[in-house]
Structure 1
C-alpha cells in the first residue's frame, strides 16, 4: 500500500496554496501513485512528490510535467507558477530591468554601463554652464541624464521636457522647486526670459527630449523664448536627438552656447553592455545564463539605438526566467531583441475586442508627432485628450505607455520603429495625422483663451479640417468636436451675412439692369456691326500688306519686316510670319563633344541627355543657362548610341546602342543617375520607344521585343515579335499607346494597331519613303525622308493633311511635332533647322529658320512651349535657340532700320490708328 503524503504545514502562503492545488489536481485525476505519475511525466517520483510538498517552489519544467501527467491546463498552471515565483522571491513583480521606459533617478541602483559617460558629464557641469547631450533615439540619453547625472550630482535639479508650451512647463517646474505661484512665475518669465537665471540660481536645469521644442511646440516665439532663457546664464544640460542637430544649428544663441560643450552618446562598449545586462540581475539575487549573455552580446554590441529593445527583452525574459536564472530559452520565448516589443504589443492588441482595438489605435496615434523631414517621435498628451479607459489601462500595464501625473506618452520611440502595425497605421494617413495634430493644438489654444471666437478655424483651414473629418475614421475628443462645431457655426454666420448683403445688392442691380437694358441693346447692336466691319477691313488690309512685304523684301527689307509685323499684329494672319522666317537667331552653343550627336532626349524639367557616335551619353542641365556647367558623362556604350526614349511620366530615360545593350537612367531626383543595364538583343539595337510603361526595342536580329519593369531596373521580357515586321530603323507610339508607326530599313512607314497584350496588327503603309516618324497629341503622323517631310491625317491613313514640307534641295534628317501639335520642326542636312506652322488647312508655313551647325543637323527637340529649340549635329555640337514671343519681335525690329513713318503706315493701313510695330529709336 502506498505511503500517504505528509500533511502541509499550517499557513496561507502562496507557496502552500500552490502545493495544495497541485495535490487537489492529482485527486481529480483519480489519485494515481507517484510511481504512476513518474511513468507518465518522465520525472522521478521523488521530484514530483517534492513539487507538492509545500517546502519550496518546484521548477517550471517539473510543475508542467506534474500538471500534464494529471491532465491539467498547462497554460493556466504556468501563469500560477509565475505568480507564485514572484511571491516566493518577495519581489511582487518588480523586475530589475525597466523595459521600454527610461531609467529615472530612483533607478540608479540598477543603472549600469554608463559610468564613464556619467563621470564626463559631472566634470563638464563643474566647468561649463551649458552642455548639449546628443545621440540617436534609443541610445539611452534620457537614462544617462536621469539615473546617471541627476542621481549623482550634488546640485538641486529642475528636470522638464519642453512640450507644446515651454513657458508653461518651466513655470510649473520652478513653482514646484520654489513653492511659489505658477501664474506669478509665468508672468515674470514671459516679461524677460533672462529672469530664469535669477529664478533658477543654484539649480541644475536639465531639459530632456529637447527636440520637442521643434516637434510639439508650434509657436516660434516660445521657441525663441526658451532658447534665450536657457542660454542666458543658469546651469543647463539639454538632451537632444541627433537628427535634430540641424534644427539647433538654426539658432545662433544655441550654437554659441554649445560651442565646446557637446557630448555625443554612442553605442555601449562590450564591457559596458555586459554590465548593463548582468549587474541588475546580480543585485536582484539572480544570474544570467552564459548562453543568453553570449547571444545578447552578439545581438546588441555596436548598435547605438538598441538599448530600449534590449531592456524590454530582458524584462520579458525576467518574467520567463527559470527560478533565479535568466535563460536563453526564456529570451527566445519572449521574442528576442528584435521582436520582444513587437510580441508584447501584438499580444496586447490581439487580446482586445474589435471596438477596443479601434480605441487602442486612436490612443497610440494621438501619442505620435509625425516627422516633417525627420523621424516620427513620441508626443506627450494630457489625460484630457486621451480619456481614461480599460484599453488605456491595459496599454500602461503592458508598459507600452507611461502615465506621468496628468500626462500619458509612449514608453519609448523604439515602439514606433519596432512595431510594424503601428508604422503601417502612420503611413496610411500621414497627412491626416498632421491635420489632426494641428486641430488638437488649435482646440487647446481656443480653450485656453476662454473660447475666444478669434481663435476659431476659418476659410481654408476649416475646409481642410472638415474634409479630413469627413474621410477619416478617427474619433475626435470632446474639445476637438466643440472647436470644429464652433468654427462651422461662426463660418455659417459669416456666410449668412454675406448672403444677405448679396441679396440686397442684387435687388439694386436688377433695377439698374432693367434701366440700362434698353440703352445697351441698341448700343451693342451698333458696336457689333462696327466691330465686324473693322475686322473685315483689318483682314483685307493685313493680307494686302503681306503681299506688299513680299514685294519689298529685296528692295526695302526694313519696311518689309515692319509690314509683316504690323499685319500679324493687326489681324493675326499666319502668312505674315513668312516675312520673319529669316530672322537672325543666334543659337548658344552648349557643348562640343567631338563626336556626332546621334540621339537626344529633353526631360520636362529642362534636362538634356544626348547620345553620341562614340557611345557616350552626356547630361546637360539647361536650367543653368547662361553659362552651363561642364557636361556630365552618364554612361558609355560599346559602339554608337542608336536611340533614346523617355517614359511617359518623365522620370526614366533609356539609351540603346550598337552593342545591343539598354542603359536605364533615373532623372526624377534632379541629378540623373544610372540605375541599371541589360542586353536587349544579341546584335545592335536599331530602334526603341516607350509604349506607356512598356519599352519596345527592335534589333538587327529582326526581332521586336517588349519589356516591362524597365523604369525600376527590374526588366522582364514579356513578348517577342519575330515575323510581323521587317528590320526596323525607327519606332514611335501614339499618346494612348494604341497605335505604332514603324519605319523599316527599306524606308517603308507602316502604321499598326497594338492590342492590349502587345499584339501588332498592321493597318497601312504610308505612300512616302521615310527615315523617321512621330505622332502628335491628336494622332496625326509626320514622317521625314529624302527631301520632303509629310503630315498624314490620322483619320484617313495615306491622305496628306497639310501637304509636303520641302527640304529645298537638301535631305531632311528628322521631323518632330511640337507638344501642342501645331508646329513641326525639321532637321536638315544643310545645317539648318526649320519650324513650320500647321494651319487648319492648306500648306505648312515656314516661320523660323535656324543656322549655325557646321554640318548636318541630326536631331532636334522642342520645349513644351515651342519657344525654345535644342539641336544636335554631325559636328558634335549641341545648340540652344530662344525663338519665342517678344524676343522674336525684338530681333526683327533690330534689323528694321529705318523705322516706319506715319506716312508709310497711312499708305498701307488707311483708316487704322497709327501703331508702329517697332518702337522708335
Structure 2
C-alpha cells in the first residue's frame, strides 16, 4: 500500500528509530506500530497519528492523507459519526456541565433558584439526588455562576479519598499558601477552616461571603477509608458554616442513597430539616428546555417527534439525565444539516442503547490484550457499594502502571468521552456508564469479591510505599493467600513488587518458624513460659484450621444434600459444631430444609393457611396442591386441584379465615376455591392480560388482583360464589406485579414494572382513592411488595437486585429507611415475619436471604438459605414465625426451620446410618473421629 510506504519513508527521514523507541514515545506497542507500516490494512486514525507523532511529522497533514485514503478504500467517509466529530457541540455527553457551559445549561432553573434561596436563609444546604439526576451540573453550571455573579467568592471541589487535602489544595491557591500549611491549620482544631475563610475574605466588603461548594460529597463515605479524616472534614465544614461570626456558607451535593450516612453526624442531621433540597425528576417542560434550548444556541432545531420521544422515555426517571445528554451528543454528531432528527436518534441506539453501544464500539475496537487491560482498568475505576450502588472512583496516575497498551485503552475510552483524564489521574465520566453498559455490569458481578481483594491490595501497596517499603506493612497469612488468587494480568508493576516482597517475607517467616520450632523442642524441657506460648500458638492455629475446615465441609454437605441426606446432615452438624461460623450455620439450615416434591413444572407460590397446618402451592403446571405440614419435617400430600386454568398459576393467596384460597393465572383470570373440598367457587374475569397476583383484605371481604394489563382491581367476595368487581385501579405505566393490603385493610399497594408502587385508600373499597405514587428509586422494575405486621413499614423488591424499606408513618409521604443489597439476581418475593423483626427475600440467584429489620435504619443480613436448584419465586413465613416456605422453578417447594438451635437439636433424627470413620477422614482429615450423632 502506498500509504504504508509513505509511513516507512517518514520513519527513515526521522533517523529510523526502533519501533520500541517509537512505542515509548507514542504510547502504542511496537507490534501495533510495525503493523501500521506493514501495509496489509489501513491503520486506524489514532495509530496513524501516533506513528507520525513519534517520527516528528505534521499530524494535520497526515490526518488529511488518512481520510483521503479511507474514502478511496471504502467509497465513503471512514469515520462514522462519533464524539470525535462533536467539537463545539451544545451538549456535553456524560460529563457534568461546568461553569463555562452555563450558557448551555437549561431546565434546572427552578432547582437552582431553590438552592440559592435556601442559602439566603441557611448556612448549610444539602442537595440530594439519585445518580444521574444532574446534581453536579446544577452545582457547577447553575449554582456556582449564580453565586459568583452575586459577588461571592466560590470554592468548588470534589472531596476524593482525602477530602481535607483536596480542600487545602484549592484554598491554598486562593490564599497564596502551601497546601501543607493549610492542612496543618485545618487539622489543628475544628475552627481551622473558619479562620482560613476569614483570612481569605480579609480586605473584602463586610458583606462579602465565601461559599464552599462540595460536589459528589458521597466520596467522603465511599472513597475515604480514614474515619478521623472523614469526621474532621465534616466538623471543619459545619463549624465554618455554623460559627456565629461566620462569613461562610456551605453547599453539599450528594447521591440520595448516602442519605443515611449523613444521619450519623449530628451537625449534618440538624441541617437536614431546613437545609435539604432534592433533585427529583425533571418535569416535561424542563426536559423540553434541556433538549431544545442548547440546540437553538447553535442555530439548530430539534424535530418535535424527537423531543416528544425523549420526554416520554425520560419523564419521571430522575437518574436518566446522563443517558439523555449522551444520546443527544450522539444525535448531534449525526445531525442532518442544522436539524437533530429521530433517524439520528435511532441510529445512535436510542436512549437506553446509545451509551452501551458507544462503550461496546470502543471495547470491540481493541485487540485481545487491550481488552483484558480494559477490564482490569474499569475494575479499578469502580468503588464497590456496601449497601449502596457502585460508585465511580478516581484513579491516581501512579496506580496505572506503564504498559504501552494501557495508554491505547485510555486514549480510546477518553476519546469517546467515557473516561475523563487530567495530569493527575483518570475517572469514569459518569456513573451512568456503570448501570448502562451490560459488559461492565457483568464484570463487576462476576469479579466482585476478586475486585474487593484487588482494591485492598492496591491500598496496601500504597501504604507500603508510603512507609518506605517497611516489612511490617507486607501481607501475611490469609490475606496473602487470598491475594495470590488475583489474576496476574490485572496487577501493576507496583502491586507485583508488593506481592513478591510479601511472598519472600513469608518464606523467610516459614524458615524462621521451622528454626524456632526446633529450638522450642529443646526449651520445652526447661521453660514453662515457652510451653504456654507454644500452646497458645497451637490453639490459634487449630482455631484457624477448624474455621477453614468448617467452611469447606459445610459447602460439601450442601452438595450432598440430595444424593446422601443422612451423611450431609451429619457433616453439616459436625462442621457447625467444629466452628459455628455464619457460613456453617447457613449451610446447616440449608441441609435440613425439607423439600416438597409433586408438581410437574415451576412452583411459583407457597402459602400457609392461618392455622399453619396446611401449605398451599401453585405451579406453572396449572394445578394447586395442598400439603399437611403439621409436622413440617414430614409434609404429606392432601389434595391435587386441577384448576382448569389454561395458563401458568403465578400466585396463590389464602383467606384470613383459612376457608378459601385464590389463584392468579396467565390465562387472564383469577379463581376462588373452597379449601374443604377443594371446590371451585367462582372465576373472576375482567383483566385483559395475565393476572400476576392476588391478595385478600384482612376482613376477607375484598380480593385485590394485579395484572399485566397495567391495572389492579378490587373484588367484593362477601358472597364467595358470586363475586363482583368493585373498582379498576389504573394509572400504572407498565405491568402490575405484586399487590398487598395493609394489616388494617385501609391501604392497598400495587408494585409495577414502571419502578413505582401505587398506594390506594381502601377504607371503603367501593370508592378507593389514590394516596400517592411511591417513586421507589429502584434502578429497575418493582416485582414485589409487602407490609410489616404493624403496617409501619413497606418492603419493595426490584429487578435491580435490591430490597428497599419505607416508613409509612405518613402514607402520603413514604420515607426511605434502608436499601438491602446482597442478592446477585432480580428479587422475586419479600415477606415479613409475624413479629415484624425479620424480612425474608428470595431471588433468581437461587437463595433466600433473611434480614434483621428490628431497626430499619440499621437493617443487616441475618442468614442466607441455599438449597434450591433454580430461581426462588416466592417466600412466606408460617403463622408462628418458626418456618419459612419457599417455591422455586426447580419444581419444588422447601420448608426451612430458621432457628439454628432447633435445627441442631433435631438434626440427629435424620442421621442414620451413622457416619463411618472412613467418611469422617475424607472430609475432616486431621481431626479426631467425633460422630455428631450417637
Q: Report the secondary structure of 2:253's partner residue.
A: strand
Tell me how far 1:677 sits from its aligned partner. Answer: 8.9
Q: How far apart are the structure 2 equivalents of 1:440 and 1:246?
A: 28
Report the Cα offset of residue 659 of structure 1: 5.0
Separation (CA, whole Å) in 1 of partners of 2:411 and 2:650? 58
Tell me whether 1:463 sits opposite 2:481 in the alignment.
Answer: yes
Query: Is the counterpart of residue 208 in structure 1 residue 215 in structure 2?
Result: yes
Residues 457, 645 of structure 1: alpha-carbon distance in 2 compared, 3 angstrom cutoff: farther
Tell me: CA distance 1:400–1:646, structure 2 relative to 1, closer, same or farther (3 Å): farther
Q: Does 1:382 align with 2:381?
A: no
2:296 match: secondary structure: helix
Alpha-carbon spacing, 1:76–1:294, altered in 2? closer, same or farther (3 Å): farther
SS in 2 for 1:260: helix
The alignment status of 1:96 with 2:90, answered yes or no, reads yes
- Please say if 1:445 is aligned against 2:463: yes
2:307 maps to which of 276, 289, 293: 293
Q: Which residue of 2 aligns with 1:267?
A: 281
Distance between the aligned counterparts of 2:258 and 2:227, measured in 1? 16
1:138 deviates by 0.3
Q: What's the offset of the Cα at 1:635?
A: 5.7
**Counterparts of 1:168-567 in structure 2 under 5 Å?**
168-201=165-198, 202-234=209-241, 235-387=249-401, 389-466=407-484, 468-469=485-486, 472=487, 474-507=489-522
Mapping 1:20-39, distance limit 5 Å: none
Assess if the C-alpha contact under 8 Å between 1:655 and 1:664 holds in 2.
no
- The answer to whether structure 1 residue 144 and structure 2 residue 138 are counterparts is yes
Shift of 1:149: 0.3
Indicate if the aligned counterparts of 1:677 and 1:713 stay in contact, CA closer than 8 A: no
Partner of 1:819, secondary structure, is: helix
CA distance in 2, matches of 1:607, 1:355: 46
C-alpha distance in 2 between matches for 1:289 and 1:639 = 54
Task: State the SS of the aligned residue for 1:402.
Answer: strand
Cα pair distance change 1:663/1:414, threshold 3 Å: closer
| SS of structure 1 residue aligned to 2:441 | helix
SS at match of 1:384: helix
- Corresponding position of 1:160: 157
Question: Residue 113 of structure 1 contacts residue 276 of structure 1 at CA under 8 Å; is this kept in 2?
Answer: yes
Aligned to 1:592: none
2:926 corresponding residue in structure 1 = none
| Residues 665-696 of structure 1 deviation map (CA, whole Å, 9 limit, x = unaligned) | 99xxxxxxx9989999x9989xxxxxxxxxxx
User: Unpaired segments of 5 or more residues in structure 1?
Assistant: 1-66, 513-601, 621-630, 667-673, 686-708, 715-734, 736-757, 759-816, 825-836, 841-863, 868-921
Supply the distance in 2 between the matched residues of 1:664 and 1:646 (Cα, whole angstroms): 25
1:571-624 per-position Cα deviation (integer Å, ceiling 9, x unaligned): xxxxxxxxxxxxxxxxxxxxxxxxxxxxxxx977999999xxxx994579xxxx
Residues 1:243 and 1:497: Cα distance change in structure 2 (over 3 Å)? same
Contact 1:660 1:683 (8 Å CA) reproduced: no
Deviation at 1:335, TM superposition (A): 0.7
Kindly tell me: are residues 223 and 605 of structure 1, through their superposed partners in 2, closer, same or farther at Cα, counting changes over 3 Å? farther
Deviates more, 1:148-157 or 1:494-503: 494-503
TM-score (norm 2): 0.49
Query: 1:81, CA displacement in angstroms?
Result: 10
Structure 1 pair 304–272 and aligned structure 2 pair: CA distance change class (3 A): same
Q: Deviations over 1:140-184 (max 9, x none)?
A: 000000000012113222222221122221221222222211112
* Cα distance change on mapping 1:493 and 1:194 into 2, 3 Å: farther
Between the aligned partners of 2:375 and 2:92, the Cα distance in structure 1 is 24
Residue equivalent to 1:872: none
Query: Any residues of structure 2 matched to 1:653-664 within 5 Å, and which?
Result: 656-657=638-639
Question: 1-side partners of 2:662 and 2:468: how far apart?
Answer: 58
Shift of 1:244: 1.0
Kept after mapping to 1: 8 A contact 2:157/2:166:
yes
> Match of 2:490, SS?
coil
The Cα shift of 1:657 comes to 3.6
Contact 1:645/1:655, CA 8 A, preserved across alignment: no
Change (3 A) 1:255 1:676: farther
2:907 aligned residue: 819
Give the superposition deviation at 1:290. Answer: 2.0
SS of the residue 1:77 aligns to: coil
Runs of 4 or more off by more than 6 Å in structure 1?
71-74, 80-83, 602-610, 631-634, 636-640, 645-648, 660-666, 674-680, 682-685, 709-714, 864-867
- Give how far 1:220 is off: 1.5
Deviations 1:384-430 (A, max 9, x none): 11246121011100000001341210011111111101101111110
Shift of 1:227: 1.6
- 1:203 to partner: Cα distance: 2.2
Query: Which of structures 1 and 2 has the bigger CA Rg?
Result: 1
Taking a change above 3 Å as real, the CA distance of residues 647 and 294 of structure 1, as seen in their structure-2 partners, is: farther
CA shift in 2, pair 1:157/1:609, >3 Å? same
SS at match of 2:386: coil
Contact 1:655-1:663 at 8 Å conserved across structures: no
Distance 1:203 1:405, change over 3 A: farther
Aligned to 1:749: none
CA deviation vs aligned residue, 1:713-769 (integer Å, no higher than 9, x gap): 99xxxxxxxxxxxxxxxxxxxx9xxxxxxxxxxxxxxxxxxxxxx9xxxxxxxxxxx
Distance 1:151 1:225 in 2: 29
Q: Distance in 2 between matches of 1:346 and 1:645?
A: 56
1:752 is matched with none
Deviation of residue 208 (structure 1)? 1.1
Q: How many positions carry a matched residue from both structures? A: 519
Separation in 2, partners of 1:143, 1:233 = 25
1-side partners of 2:595 and 2:361: how far apart?
55
